[in-house]
């Protein structure tokens, strides 16, 4: 079976030194060098691993936090252009094996919209990945809406990837529990809340064909979706939406399997957004291709649904 994996990360030496090196309590110290070596390579080592484990295509994205953490807007714009050029070059070197999500310099929203258009039209990238807040600003802010308008016009999705909860070191709820800050819980706490800010901002009323992709089986949202929906109907505290929250999940969200290889979580995601909106991903090299593939190959779903998750939905969404 063809398998297209959607959340597969890379980095460059320069971007790693600038933005990722200081990141604490996210991966085990003994794993740092392994992950770095595997993110730097977009070539033979990665392709061998894909071949050995049955991954046809990786859709590549910059590892978090990347240029989202750049405080200077002009630097972010230049770094985004250079990164997208580099990525497009690696994709072109291995046609069919790699595709890419652009990085966007959201520090300058107008430049971010233009860079998305350049990345899609001129470089052939398939959308963009946003690594959480941009220097503390969340995506529901009206300044960012031109980016969603452009994404809708171009017909490409944006992928919201987790980062450590903002101001994690000051949050009393995590105090004394560094083991909770990263992928175990903090990532989903941050990314799930971030995605809901976007949903409740009405952005999908303004741009009904704009699609947001969430990894990690939906960052806890599917499990909470019914309660979220009912609670909003009971008490919206002045927030207004044209449709029910659940409707947006079914019409504007996609969910990937990245780094969450659990049958109950998969079934919950499929029930929540529908079988046409769940996509395969591994989260290489933070996770093993072998585990991601073994999980999806043995998941308790029909082979037709498996084919949708493994490649058909991605082919339709990303025009692969």
Q: Does 132 bind ligand GRE (CB under 6 A)?
A: no
- Whether 69 contacts 136, CB under 8 Å: no
- Closer to ligand GRE by CB, 148 or 286: give it: 286
One DSSP character per residue, 52-93 reads HHT--EEEEEEPSSGGGG-S-HHHHHHHHHHHHHHHHHHHHH
**Alpha carbon distances (Å) from 245 to 60, 159, 181, 196, 233:** 30, 19, 27, 9, 9
Output phi, psi for 82, to 5 deg. Answer: -65, -40
Q: Are strands 128-131 and 98-100 parallel, antiparallel or unpaired?
A: unpaired
List the single partner that 277 binds among Zn ion, ligand GRE, none, CB under 5 to 8 Å by kind: none
Of 183, 192, 245, 292, which one interacts with ligand GRE (CB under 6 A)?
A: 183
Chosen from ligand GRE, Zn ion, none, partner binding at 27 (C-beta under 5 to 8 Å by type): ligand GRE
169 counts as catalytic: no
Stretch that binds Zn ion, among 21-29, 196-204, 237-245, 282-290 (CB under 5 A): 282-290
Note whether 203 and 140 are within 8 A (CB).
yes
The answer to whether 283 contacts Zn ion (rule: CB under 5 A) is yes
Nearest distance in Å: CB 58, Zn ion = 12
Binding of ligand GRE by 106 (CB under 6 A):
no
Which residue of 286, 295, 306, 308 would you call a contact of ligand GRE, by CB under 6 A? 286
E strands, 93-240, in order: 98-100, 128-131, 158-161, 212-214
Q: Which does 157 bind (CB under 5 to 8 A by kind): ligand GRE, Zn ion, none?
A: none
Indicate which residue of 283, 297, 303, 305 is catalytic. 283
Residue 286 CB, nearest approach to Zn ion (Å): 6
């Amino acid at each position: 079976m063809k398998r297209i994996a959607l959340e597969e990360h890379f980095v460059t030496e320069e971007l790693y030194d600038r933005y990722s090196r200081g990141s604490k309590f996210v991966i085990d110290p003994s794993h740092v060098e392994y992950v770095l070596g595997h993110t730097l390579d977009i070539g033979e080592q990665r392709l061998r691993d894909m071949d050995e484990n049955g991954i046809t295509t990786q859709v590549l994205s910059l590892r978090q936090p990347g240029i989202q953490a750049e405080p200077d807007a002009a630097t972010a714009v230049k770094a985004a252009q250079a990164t997208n050029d580099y990525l497009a070059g690696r994709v072109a070197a291995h046609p069919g094996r790699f595709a890419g999500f652009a990085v966007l310099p959201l520090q300058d929203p107008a430049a971010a919209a233009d860079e998305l258009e350049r990345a899609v039209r001129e470089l052939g990238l398939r959308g963009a990945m946003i690594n959480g807040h941009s220097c503390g600003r969340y995506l529901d802010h009206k300044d960012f809406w031109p980016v969603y308008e452009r994404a809708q016009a171009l017909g490409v999705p944006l992928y919201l990837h987790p980062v450590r909860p903002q101001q994690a070191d000051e949050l009393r709820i995590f105090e004394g529990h560094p083991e909770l800050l990263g992928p175990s819980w903090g990532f989903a706490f941050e990314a799930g809340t971030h995605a809901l800010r976007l949903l409740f901002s009405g952005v999908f009323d303004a741009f009904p064909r704009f699609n947001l992709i969430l990894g990690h089986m939906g960052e806890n949202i599917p499990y909470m979706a019914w309660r979220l929906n009912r609670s909003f109907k009971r008490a919206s505290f002045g927030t207004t939406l044209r449709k029910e929250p659940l409707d947006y999940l079914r019409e504007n969200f996609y969910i990937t399997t990245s780094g969450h290889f659990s049958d109950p979580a998969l079934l919950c995601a499929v029930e929540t957004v529908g079988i046409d909106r769940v996509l395969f991903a591994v989260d290489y090299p933070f996770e093993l291709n072998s585990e991601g593939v073994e999980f999806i190959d043995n998941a308790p779903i029909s082979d037709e649904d498996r084919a949708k998750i493994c490649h058909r939905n991605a082919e339709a969404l990303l025009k692969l």
